[in-house]
Each structure stands twice: as structure tokens, then as C-alpha cells.
Structure 1
């Protein structure tokens, strides 16, 4: 998995509880807390009192700075943010599959106010807790839904999101039903034309999982997706060279020239989306304000500015697209 900041605790001797530096910030738990799928633990950075890491069943799942919602610690999230920066300015509609502590959702809210986001996680209790612990944006800006990611994706209306983020793990790998051809097709369906899928794939040499997913995405996003520069993979150089285990970010852009969706048979149309009314995990039903989609262009994976953003990250990364990606996928 990606590196994160060091964890630690700063106990309050009177209460036995830890507090972030900000006096109005919520109280954080000490030790492991039961959740639906096991346990969760929040670990504070001893050098940065506002920085915390959420561990789910012993695995670092999210890293946040409670005083800086734009902060991202995990390298693969920094890479995703670099891709998102290439989208036209303004609010986005973003689906997060595998919400955990919602670090990327907080970043999007910070960078693009008025965005409408939906976070999906299989653990309902965890979603309730992170709302309290991390002061997450409320609905309709960020709605949280307890559900299996694949089931939630299948229930959403066609062309209802600008961005789909997949960051779901069972152990150290993505569940098979969220990395196959059916998932790629379902993600394509819910993206608006020009929309972007960002998928976190943890893999080890010789990167068979990442190569297989590239093939699945090429099938779902169109025969010209690879040659047309609408598919890419982003990672550190050593990972792309197959020298070590790590995170590979898969990028797929839906074409803007496809035919408009047809009848309701194309997919569910009455399900809850980021611009619809639905229950928030903290209770109640809140009406959301519809955000106009407007005209947005594709993310340009050949953009020199994107390459510079990736090279300029704290841990430099590289993007493969076009002929380079074809060689990677075919190896």
C-alpha cells in the first residue's frame, strides 16, 4: 500500500482521550472501536497533532489533516488529484466506491466547492463514526451510503457522475467482482460523456492484475480508448518497472462522441444519485441541490501539464498511455 505519515497518540491524562490541536475539533477515540466488519482505530501523528490515520482491521485506510481538508498523504491519492486537476474548473459530481475516511472527498470539496459527492462503503457503522470523527461535509455536498460497491454502482442512473473513484480492498487486493469486465462496463455506464474513472489497483510484479484491468477497461470504454489516449496507468517508476509491490492508478475516460443513452433498459434511472433525495447515514432525508452538468471536455492524458504535475509530486510518478500502455498491457 502507499506510504502514509507516521502514526502516534497524544493521550489526555484526565480523560484518557486524544484531541487534535484545534479546540473545536471532535474528540477522537482511543484504541480499537468495533465496526460492522471488525475494528477501526484512529492514530495521530506525533509531529502533526491534526494529522490522523484511520486503520480498518489493522490496515491504514485513510490519512487526513483535520485542519487542512485539501491534504492528501497517500501517494496514489495525490496521483488521482493530479488527474482531477486537469478537468475544467467548477463543481464535480463524484462517486467514491470505498469511502473509508473520505480523504479524497474532503480534498474535492476543498478544491471544488459546491461539488456533489456520494461515498459508498460496505460498513455502515464506520460511515457513522467517520462523520463524527472527521467533521465531513454534510449532505447534499457529501452523502454516505452503506452498501456493497458493486451493488451500489449497478443501482445508479446512467451518466450521473463526472468522476468515479474505486478504492476498495479485501485484504491486499481489489475484490474480483470490482475488477472484472462487468465492473468496467458498469462504471462506463454511470459516467457522463467525458467523465473519468480512477481505480486504485494494488499489485506486485509482474503486475498481472493491472494489465488485466487495462484490457477490461479497453473493452468497456471502446475499441479506440487505447489508441485514442483515453486509457492510462499512473504509478511510481519502480512499480511500473515491476520492481516492487505498490499502487497503480488506472485512468479511463468515457468518449464524448458516443450516442446518447437510449431507453431505461440501458440501466436503472430511479436510484439515488448525488443530485437526488435520499437518506444520509447519519439519519434523515435531505434534499440536494441539482448541479448543472454543463459542457466539460475530456481529461487529456497527453497533456504536458499533467505529466509535470505527476513529476512534481513528493514521490514523482509517471503516466503510461497510447503506445506505451499498449506495450504494458500486452506484456
Structure 2
């Protein structure tokens, strides 16, 4: 049996510029993709259930609370396909549509990070808006929105119009997960939550206390569904997990949003930019 090709660390040109593939010196099969100095994706090729980034751990916590069985999942923002790998390892038989606009990045992940080893995964080289328009009604159990251009979330993927598209694609018991990054005062996260609440009846927010209190710039996970979310298990698992986190929902979430206006197509909204020293 031929030996598997090993990834080669280094800088690689992609469609949007250049990425760096870095070996994890502490884990022999661990690899990180970095874009413009910003860590974008981490995968362990020997153990896809190992999750390095704290916000990915929180997203996985929500996924683990969903009913047992395979999932039909849509992932907008491909990167190294960390979450599809995780789901396929934990829930055999799951199917994935991964949306990634950077064709060069997709090819790099195919060539270096064994993307073909992930079963039942299809990649569509499209932007998130175009891809969503082509997906059927009630065709997904899970919709993961983890799209960043460099270190910022594209605002066109945070609008009421896009949330309505996601609501159309999800099944009545489906779940939306959004990775959002924000800093002091969390103004963008509050507006995004207001937007999501306009499309989904049930919404929860997970984050580390320091980020939720806007003491530092960081990532938060938004979970939303037409159906009731497992808030009790989420709260317990978040408090006792690898990433010590809080789950904010119901009246506490209403207070958190504090009347922030939803984001609509055409609004002049700037996506938050992390401080320059954050990744140094």
C-alpha cells in the first residue's frame, strides 16, 4: 500500500493572495493554515475530532447537542474543512456542501491536507450569497457560517436578506451556527444577533466571559433554529468544557442585544477588524 503523501510546510499562492501552511510541533499530524498572519484553520490529519481553536470547540459543542445521526450540512467558508472532518468522524454518513470562493485555497487543501479523505463532501467554488441561492428549500440540518476575508466577516453574509435565505434552506428542526468576531462594546455582534433573531425564533450566544464582557477582541458562536435549542445542555457543556464559556439566551440575550438594529443589504456597516497585535 503506497505511503500517504505528507504535507509540505511553506507559503503558497492562492486566488486571493498567499497562505502559509504551518506544522504543529506539538502534534505530529497537526497543521495550521494562516492567511496574512491570521490563523484561519487547524486540522489534525490523524484525529479530526481534535479541535485547536476555542471557537471551533464551542461550535462542536452545539453540534454534539443535536439529535444523534448523520447530518446534511452546508458550510459557508471552507478553509481546511475542520468542522466537516469533525462531523464525519463523529457522525458517519453525514453529507457536506462546502462553499469557498477561493479556488486556489481549495486546491491547496486538496493537495496538502487530504480533503479527498472526507467522505460525501462536495466543494462549490462560489461566494456565499450565490451558493445559497442555488440550494433547495429545507435541504439542510446544519448551516455553518464561518466566512472571513482576511480577519473580517463579509457584511453581505450578515444581513437580514441572507438570514432569510438560510432560514429557507434549513429544515424545520435545522440549526444555524455563525462564527462572529468582535471587540469593545460588541456592536457588530449585537446587530448580527438582532438580524438573526428576525429570521429565527430561537437564538443563543456562546462565548468566553472575557469576550462577552468585551474586555478583549475575540470570537463568539451564534446558534439559531426555528425549533427550540438545547439551551440546558449547552449551558452545562459550555461551563464545563475545554473552553470555559457562557451560553446567553432568552431574556438575557434580549438584554445583551439591547435594541440593536438589524443589518440589511446596503447598510453602511463595517465588519470589526482585530487589533494588529492580536496575532503577533
Shorter-chain-normalised TM-score: which range?
0.7 to 0.9
Deviation of the 1:37 alpha carbon: 0.8
Q: Please report the TM-score for the alignment, with normalisation by the length of structure 2.
A: 0.88
Please state if 1:250 is matched with 2:222. Answer: yes
- Relative distance call for 1:104 and 1:117 in structure 2 (3 A) is same
Deviation of the 1:325 alpha carbon: 0.2
Query: Is 1:194–1:299's contact at 8 Å kept on the other side of the alignment?
Result: no
- Relative distance call for 1:215 and 1:28 in structure 2 (3 A) is same
Please state if 1:197 is matched with 2:151. Answer: no
RMSD (CA atoms): 1.6
Query: Is 1:310–1:316's contact at 8 Å kept on the other side of the alignment?
Result: yes
Count of residues in Structure 1 that have an aligned counterpart in Structure 2: 258
Please state if 1:307 is matched with 2:235. Answer: yes
Deviation of the 1:70 alpha carbon: 1.0
Regions of 4+ moved over 4 Å: 137-140
Q: Which residue of 1 aligns with 2:107?
A: 128
Q: Deviations over 1:77-99 (max 9, x none)?
A: 11011111111110001101001
Gaps in structure 2 of 5+ consecutive residues: 260-280
- Relative distance call for 1:24 and 1:313 in structure 2 (3 A) is farther
Query: Is 1:69–1:106's contact at 8 Å kept on the other side of the alignment?
Result: yes
Matches within 5 A, 1:103-122: 103-122=82-101
Larger gyration radius, structure 1 or structure 2: 1
3-state SS of 1:163 partner: strand
**Distance (Å, rounded) in 2 between the aligned partners of 1:58 and 1:239:** 21
**Distance (Å, rounded) in 1 between the aligned partners of 2:86 and 2:141:** 16
Deviation of the 1:146 alpha carbon: 0.6
Deviation of the 1:126 alpha carbon: 1.1
Query: Is 2:22–2:31's contact at 8 Å kept on the other side of the alignment?
Result: yes
Deviation of the 1:55 alpha carbon: 1.3
Query: Is 1:119–1:143's contact at 8 Å kept on the other side of the alignment?
Result: yes
Q: Which residue of 1 aligns with 2:35?
A: 56
- Of 212, 216, 229, which residue of structure 2 is paired with 1:240? 212
Q: Deviations over 1:176-196 (max 9, x none)?
A: 100111111111110000100
Deviation of the 1:24 alpha carbon: 3.5
**Distance (Å, rounded) in 1 between the aligned partners of 2:234 and 2:115:** 29
Farther off after superposition, 319-328 or 177-186: 177-186
Query: Is 1:63–1:72's contact at 8 Å kept on the other side of the alignment?
Result: yes
Please state if 1:86 is matched with 2:65. Answer: yes
Q: Deviations over 1:25-72 (max 9, x none)?
A: 422233211111111221011122211111123321111111101111
Deviation of the 1:140 alpha carbon: 6.2
**Distance (Å, rounded) in 2 between the aligned partners of 1:203 and 1:318:** 16
3-state SS of 1:243 partner: coil
Query: Is 2:205–2:223's contact at 8 Å kept on the other side of the alignment?
Result: yes
